[in-house]
Amino acid sequence: MNRRAWGRPDGMYSYRTTASIEADLARLEELKRRLDSRGPLPRIWLGRTRRELEAEAVAASTSMEGVSVTVDEVRRILAGDRPTSVAPGDMALVRGYRDAMKFVLNRADDSDFEWQTELILGIHYRVMGEDHSLGAGRFRRTQNRLVDVTGHRQVFLPPPPTEVSRLVTELAAWAQEQEHTPPPLVSAVIHCRFAGIHPFSDGNGRTARILASLAMYRGGYRSPEFTSLEEWWGGHVGDYYRAFECLGSEWVDAVDVTPFVEAHIRAQVSQVEALSLRQATERILWLALDDVTKSIASGNERMAHALYDAFFGREVTNRFYRSLADVSVATAVNDLAKLESSGLLKAIGAGRSRRYIAGSRLTGQIAESAGVTPAPGDEAPLEHQRDAIIVTLAERVKQGGLGL
């Protein structure tokens, strides 16, 4: 095993490139090669996939920091809806996180890109919804003690506020020099070091995860499967916080963070492999939806957006559909009416409260188009019909070696 270290001569984080890390780095490189060599994907489906991953990442990361929102609520917020179940302040944080992610992706391709303190402040400013009252884009001026879920027991003491600016500047300088370090290692160390510094009064976890994604993107891992670990960590919160235990109970410059690096890179592999199976399955589903749209409703391929959400048990509003299909109000009304008249959607409510759910013919037509036989019974609940279709398609992907 090799030991690699970084930081100032008198204090640094270090990690050992264990057999586990080496194996996972090789697997990530293999996954990257396979994803990069994929053939052309349906344009509308690819755009939809990116939006789905974005919504899931935003929901997971904001929820981990105490902003209680569901993935469906995030979808609607990002589409311009205003769910009554979500407070205005929380909606601003959801939009802010999305804006920070977009800011990072736009900057990452810049030929003049540099890791700088101002970049990090700009990301945090957006993460916090540009709200100065929340300390958006400003380093903390007081000590920030991390406590457990009870709110009483201190679990970690970051460095004093007087050290924050220097430590963040050093972190940015280190990241700038890592051109020849494998990006997954850079991503893991940035994530861990930034979280340890805890430079802001709030929003540190969200900012750390975005910086980790930025490091992957800058290193050439640009498929959406690689650039966000939020959803994986959101489903494995216990593992996430246990990985930080290597930092101890208070800030120390010189720490061996191998456990965190191992956990972070293993999570990357698990995330990509899981998303690969899911996306290969949903690509088949999307092609079936496209076929159903054209053959049953005599519609445009964009109408598959409405059927996709209805198939997964979500309500579709005119506004939400417009945001996905990028059409006018009149076109959206016409599209949704076609799908309703064909029995693929069912309308509920009237006027502005009108929304659409899966119609009686939807799952049967999807099963037939996808070649799933026998088709799920029409009398079975929607979720049972849906699960039967998805399981069958996933097994087809596995047996055919269509995943990664």
User: How confident is the model over 151-182, as pLDDT tens digits?
Assistant: 678 899 999 999 999 999 999 999 999 999 99
Please say if the pLDDT value at position 222 is more than 90. Answer: no
Q: 63-67, 121-125, 185-189, 357-361 — which is least confidently predicted?
A: 63-67
Cβ–Cβ < 8 Å for 340, 347 = yes
Quote the DSSP letter at residue 303: G
Please say if the pLDDT value at position 49 is more than 80. Answer: yes
Predicted local distance difference test score (pLDDT) of residue 293: 92
Predicted local distance difference test score (pLDDT) of residue 10: 42
Q: What is the distance between the alpha carbons of residues 230 and 176, in angstroms, rounded to a whole number?
A: 24
Predicted local distance difference test score (pLDDT) of residue 11: 54
Measure the CA angle with vertex 125, ends 119 and 129; round to 5°. Answer: 145
Predicted local distance difference test score (pLDDT) of residue 4: 54
For 236, the 3-state DSSP assignment is: coil
Burial 173-197 (b: 16+ CB within 10 A, else e): ebbeebeebbbbbbbbbbbbbbbbb
For 263, the 3-state DSSP assignment is: helix
Orientation angle between helical segments 304-311 and 258-296, nearest 10 degrees: 120
The residue with greater pLDDT, 189 or 41, is: 189
In the numeric block, which tokens belong to residue 217?
A: 């993107």
pLDDT digits 0-9 by tens, 256-291: 999 999 999 999 999 999 888 888 898 899 999 999
Please say if the pLDDT value at position 26 is more than 50. Answer: yes
- What CATH code is assigned to 2-276? 1.10.3290.10
Closest by alpha carbon to 314, among 386, 210, 241? 386
Predicted local distance difference test score (pLDDT) of residue 402: 56
Assigned architecture for domain 297-400: Orthogonal Bundle (1.10)
Q: Which residue bears the tokens 């802010």? A: 96
pTM of the model: 0.86
Predicted local distance difference test score (pLDDT) of residue 362: 94
Q: What is the distance between the alpha carbons of residues 7 and 167, in angstroms, rounded to a whole number?
A: 10
Predicted local distance difference test score (pLDDT) of residue 8: 37
In the numeric block, which tokens belong to residue 130?
A: 């540009």
Average pLDDT of the residues in 291-297: 90
> What are the domain boundaries of the chain?
2-276, 297-400
pLDDT digits 0-9 by tens, 316-373: 999 999 998 999 999 999 999 999 999 999 999 988 889 999 999 999 999 999 988 7
- Rounded to 10 degrees, the C-alpha dihedral 285/291/295/297 comes to 60
Predicted local distance difference test score (pLDDT) of residue 35: 84
Query: Residues 298, 300, 303, 307: is their CA dihedral positive or negative?
Result: positive
